[in-house]
Structure 1
Amino acid sequence: MWVLPGLVLSIMAPVDATWRKTTSEMEGWSSKVSGHKYYAPLRRRDDHLIMRKNRHTRLMHRHRQLLNTTGEALLSVALNTRKHAKQILLEDHGSEFTGPVMIGSPGQEQQCIFDTGSSMAWIMSTKCESDVCRMHHQFNSAKSETWEGTNQTMDIQFGTGSLTGTLCKDKVSFGGFDLGRVMLGEIKSTLGSVFTLPFDGICGLSYQMSHDDSYCFLDSVAASDQLEEKSFTFYFGEKESALIFGEPDSNIRSSEVEWYPVSRKYYWETRLTDVTVNGESVKEAEKNATVVFDTGTSVLTMPTNAATVTMKLLQKAGLDCAQIERGEAPTICYHFESSESICLDQWYEKGDSGCTASLMTLDLAEEHVFILGQPFFSAFVTTFDVGNDRIGVSRPVVNANLDA
């Protein structure tokens, strides 16, 4: 029995100064359409506006704690068809995204999160008979001709619950990309409200996190002979979004790619030298500070001290929502030793009572970790280069033609 360390930090309440991942605003389904692509159309939950409002309220509450004030909330003054590339179309909905993954022979569809902050693939299974499990699409191993069971168990602890299950091997494919038979986790029991959210599993795309090499989903991607370039790219446009395996078309980028070397093959992370708000340093990016590029996190995160300084510098600007939306907001910039800085101006969320930063706190022992979550991915095209251990960042074409 083992515990997967990446997911221990994954799905936790935002005010607890921990790594938060949420899939709460969308529910989705998928269908194969004519042509060569697999689409993952998503529809909004009936209560998505209430859920987004609740998240906004929690963010403002946490920001008041950081600012030691009971006053008004911050800033509320007043796959493609090219050879060797595979593509899954997604829809940017400002929080999380899911796409269809086919498991087994014949394939059984699961709606999964593509998460660069965890390394394993696990799915809801018919071996779990609880009402919560029955809310999801459940993989039935008895209906798969290529399923192979093991006697290995998994025990994963979350901030808001836990799961147990067994490991198996079976065929996996998505977006026309066939991975062959890979190691998966089949859930047998769950505990916690996180499993009521509308996703059927997670496809972890980070580096190895467990002690057993066979548990790393990314290794299966890297070993595939279908990809000439061992990389995958996330693109979020105003109309369409996509996860592309292999070399993407150049028409999705409006700038040259800036590369950031992976500093440790665990998360997709690179070393950080400083963080500034409108040019003023938060003075918390120490020599062991890193930036983690995590598609499974819906906000930006910083250590508590850095987040406190950042919030005060943002508040110092004294801007209201209208000014922010006109592009007059201060920028949050992340600085690196040998690569260009990454600057964000779309760092806020808008609610009924004003605007607040899409920022939460994360404190890890002996590490200063700054996570770039969905606000970052919505602003940039991001390539995860498995073959060369680097992250590529470029500006997107606003409405790229993903059918080109």
Structure 2
Amino acid sequence: MEMRLENEFYGKIVIGHPGQTVNVAFDTAWSISWVLSSKCEIWKTVGCWFHNRYDHTKSSEWKKDNRPFIAEEGKYNMTGFYSYENISIAHSNVTAQSFVEMVDVPYTFIFNKVDGVLGLGLKIDDYDPFFYKLLRQKKIKDPLFSIYLNRDRQSNVGGNIMLGFVDEKHIHKTELKNKTIVPDKIKYLPVDAGQYWKFSMDR
């Protein structure tokens, strides 16, 4: 996972066969995954300039859906259409993942490093987010993901995202009286109902 200006964390995923590599933001607010499409015409949509664009005509694993997609983003709409495709991140992959091929994005997108979003949000309707699909296809054992954000400004590695496990090396450790060093216990809390990952705090 790379970092840009401490507010944009992104990494690479591979879509289709042969694989097409795109940079995505790992976004826990979006349930839907999307990438810029080759059908995003650069002569018409400035936001598509200087980005990797996914071309489904070059993949043997693409499946048509074609339902339209529209999302309001401030003064502008993001529009596209749904498709099905195999999506891989590192050693994890899902088959026939529903995602959006975005064909129109705001002009400000030209300043972003990412070509799309890997949606890690809560499942709120019939759409199966990437993480839920990983679990359902038994590609991961445990229903959890964890994110480590690196605060070292000298490093070009912004952090790691772990799907299905927690990496103990990133957990704060406490030294006991007998000089044994153990990772602190993780406190698990119930997630509040709603559109976003959130939990209640008493103070």
Same structural fold, with TM-score higher than 0.5 when normalized by the shorter chain? yes
1:202 positional shift = 0.5
Q: Is the 8 Å Cα contact of residues 135 and 142 (structure 2) preserved in structure 1?
A: no
Structure 2 residue 160 is matched with structure 1 residue 231: no
Question: For the residues of structure 1 that align with 2:59 and 2:103, how far apart are their CA atoms?
Answer: 17
User: In structure 2, what residue type is equivalent to 1:270?
Assistant: F
Q: Is the 8 Å Cα contact of residues 32 and 127 (structure 2) preserved in structure 1?
A: no
Q: State the match for 2:62 in structure 1.
A: 147
Question: For the residues of structure 1 that align with 2:37 and 2:140, how far apart are their CA atoms?
Answer: 30
Structure 2 residue 93 is matched with structure 1 residue 181: no
1:235 positional shift = 0.9
Q: CA RMSD in A?
A: 2.0
Question: For the residues of structure 1 that align with 2:96 and 2:195, how far apart are their CA atoms?
Answer: 23
1:126 positional shift = 0.6
Structure 2 residue 32 is matched with structure 1 residue 120: yes
Q: Is the 8 Å Cα contact of residues 161 and 193 (structure 1) preserved in structure 2?
A: no
Kindly tell me: are residues 159 and 215 of structure 1, through their superposed partners in 2, closer, same or farther at Cα, counting changes over 3 Å?
farther
Question: For the residues of structure 2 that align with 1:111 and 1:253, how far apart are their CA atoms?
Answer: 27
Structure 2 residue 123 is matched with structure 1 residue 208: yes
Q: Is the 8 Å Cα contact of residues 93 and 134 (structure 2) preserved in structure 1?
A: no
Kindly tell me: are residues 162 and 139 of structure 1, through their superposed partners in 2, closer, same or farther at Cα, counting changes over 3 Å?
same
Question: For the residues of structure 2 that align with 1:91 and 1:135, how far apart are their CA atoms?
Answer: 18
5+ residue gaps, structure 2: 173-183
Q: State the match for 1:256 in structure 2.
A: 185
User: In structure 2, what residue type is equivalent to 1:271?
Assistant: S
5+ residue gaps, structure 1: 1-88, 274-334, 336-404
Kindly tell me: are residues 93 and 196 of structure 1, through their superposed partners in 2, closer, same or farther at Cα, counting changes over 3 Å?
closer
Q: Is the 8 Å Cα contact of residues 161 and 192 (structure 1) preserved in structure 2?
A: no
Describe how 1:2-21 pairs up with structure 2 within 5 A: none
User: In structure 1, what residue type is equivalent to 2:190?
Assistant: P
Kindly tell me: are residues 176 and 93 of structure 1, through their superposed partners in 2, closer, same or farther at Cα, counting changes over 3 Å?
farther
Structure 2 residue 41 is matched with structure 1 residue 138: no
TM-score normalised to structure 2 length: 0.82
Kindly tell me: are residues 152 and 111 of structure 1, through their superposed partners in 2, closer, same or farther at Cα, counting changes over 3 Å?
same
1:218 positional shift = 3.3
- Which structure shows the bigger proportion of residues in helix conformation? 1
Q: Is the 8 Å Cα contact of residues 232 and 245 (structure 1) preserved in structure 2?
A: yes
Q: Is the 8 Å Cα contact of residues 153 and 165 (structure 1) preserved in structure 2?
A: yes
Q: State the match for 2:177 in structure 1.
A: none
Kindly tell me: are residues 160 and 217 of structure 1, through their superposed partners in 2, closer, same or farther at Cα, counting changes over 3 Å?
farther
Q: State the match for 2:112 in structure 1.
A: 197
Q: Is the 8 Å Cα contact of residues 162 and 191 (structure 1) preserved in structure 2?
A: yes
TM-score normalised to structure 1 length: 0.43
1:208 positional shift = 2.2
Kindly tell me: are residues 176 and 220 of structure 1, through their superposed partners in 2, closer, same or farther at Cα, counting changes over 3 Å?
same
SS in 2 for 1:172: strand
Question: For the residues of structure 1 that align with 2:187 and 2:61, how far apart are their CA atoms?
Answer: 42
1:265 positional shift = 4.9
- Which structure shows the bigger proportion of residues in strand conformation? 2
- The alignment of Structure 1 onto Structure 2 pairs a total of residues equal to 184
User: In structure 2, what residue type is equivalent to 1:221?
Assistant: L
Q: Is the 8 Å Cα contact of residues 151 and 167 (structure 1) preserved in structure 2?
A: yes
Kindly tell me: are residues 137 and 127 of structure 1, through their superposed partners in 2, closer, same or farther at Cα, counting changes over 3 Å?
same
